[in-house]
Amino acid sequence: MFDVKVVHLACNKNRIAPVKKITLPRLDLVATLVGAILLRYFCHATCFDITEATLWTHSTVALGWMRQDPNPWKIFVFNRVTEIQS
C-alpha cells in the first residue's frame, strides 16, 4: 500500500575554519582528514569493512598530496597526509 523509505543518520561532524589564514587546498586537506577519521570511527562502531568504503573529494591538490610520499612537504601537510594514509 505505502512505499516507505527509511533513512538513518549514522554520524555527523562539523568543523569551522580556523582563525589563522589557511589556504583553500589546506582546508580541503583538513576536511579530507575529518572524513577519514569519521569513516574509521563509523567502520569500527558498525563492523563495516573499511576497504568497501569510498570517500570523495573535489580537491585535486589534496588528492595529489595523498597519492604521494608525504616526506617532501611541510609539517602541516605531512602530519595530515600521514594520518589519512594510515
The closest of 74, 67, 12 to 37, measured between CA atoms, is 12
Domain ranges, ordered by start, for the chain: 24-85
Query: What does the DSSP 8-state code read for residue 37?
Result: H
- How many Cα atoms occupy the beta-carbon half-sphere of 46 within 13 Å? 13
Percent with pLDDT over 70 in the chain: 84
Look up the pTM and report it.
0.75
User: Per-residue pLDDT for 77 more than 90?
Assistant: yes
Neighbours of 1 (CB within 10 A): 3
Tell me what pLDDT residue 78 has: 95
Percent with pLDDT over 90 in the chain: 34
Separation CA 83–CA 81 (nearest Å): 5
Tell me what pLDDT residue 20 has: 81
User: Per-residue pLDDT for 19 more than 80?
Assistant: no
User: Per-residue pLDDT for 10 more than 90?
Assistant: no
